Amino acid sequence: MDMIFELLKAVLFGIVEGITEWLPISSTGHMILLNEFVNLKVSEEFYNMFEVVIQLGAILAVILLFFHKLNPFSPKKSSPQKRNTWRLWFKVVIAVIPSAVIGILFDDWMNEHFYNYVVVAITLIVYGIAFLFVERANEHRSLQVNTVYDIDLKTAILIGCFQCLSLIPGTSRSGSTILGAIILGVGRSAGAEFSFFLAIPTMVGASALKLVKFLLSGATATSMELIILAVGCVVSFIVSLLVIKGLMEYVRKHSFAVFGVYRIILGILVLGYFAFTTLL
């Protein structure tokens, strides 16, 4: 019975990861909050690794959905199209560098100081307000970039700098990059796609870093923990397929303002809940 409960918890974590990784509402923030209410019966070392590595399932969904667009070797592409794909990959890799450097240097420090409900709640609210403000300011603005291929190297690097903000839990990797793209004049669809592509090297690198730290710490995973990780990854993959398709359809006709409202409401509820429980 305990095993069934743990697997159901893993399914829940996978669902939350698959939904929140791509919507601009912070997957890490939601995982931290979920862990406050639903505790997996795993070691602390394993959970620290689990909440990052579970993202690999979500990444596989991006690779599958955009495989043709990301594949420079596709026989269905002309030579110019293949060159555009290589250029896109180059811009993605360059854009990842700022967050990769900061993440590697300050990963442990940020885990110690920022991974708590107060930081998550504050960043949820702050960036929720930012989304509302930016969407309002750009409501009648003419866009300079309408496809992911039109994003130039300078814009890609600046979007990569915005991604550095997502190292603070509650900010949202997709939220910070999409918000940055909109500010820079990139259309919502193109900004969302570029954000998805940035996620591939970013999250694979973050997962590899967590795995290495887990192994170097001397910690080991039980068979049950490995099953929990596998279930979480599979569920996040399946849910991500649905969420990414839905989000791309949504942004073609709607703004991100609704996510800003959601972030503000959730942040206020989180602060209120923990303030209330502290007083009891």
pLDDT in tens, 56-73: 999 999 999 999 999 999
Confidence band, pLDDT 50/70/90 cuts, at residue 87: very high
pLDDT of 80 > 80? The answer is yes
- pLDDT value at position 275? 82
The structure's pTM equals 0.89
- pLDDT value at position 280? 67
Give, in order, the Cα–Cα distances in Å from 26 to each of 16, 124, 216. Answer: 10, 8, 28
The domain ranges of the chain are 2-279
pLDDT in tens, 107-139: 778 878 888 888 889 999 999 999 999 888 887
pLDDT in tens, 128-178: 999 999 888 887 777 778 899 999 999 999 999 999 998 888 888 898 999
Mean pLDDT, residues 25-52: 88
Q: Which two tokens stand for residue 114?
A: 């920022």
pLDDT of 77 > 70? The answer is yes
pLDDT in tens, 194-245: 999 999 999 998 899 888 888 888 888 999 999 999 999 999 999 999 999 9
Average pLDDT of the chain to the nearest whole number = 90
- pLDDT value at position 60? 95
- pLDDT value at position 31? 85
- pLDDT value at position 93? 96
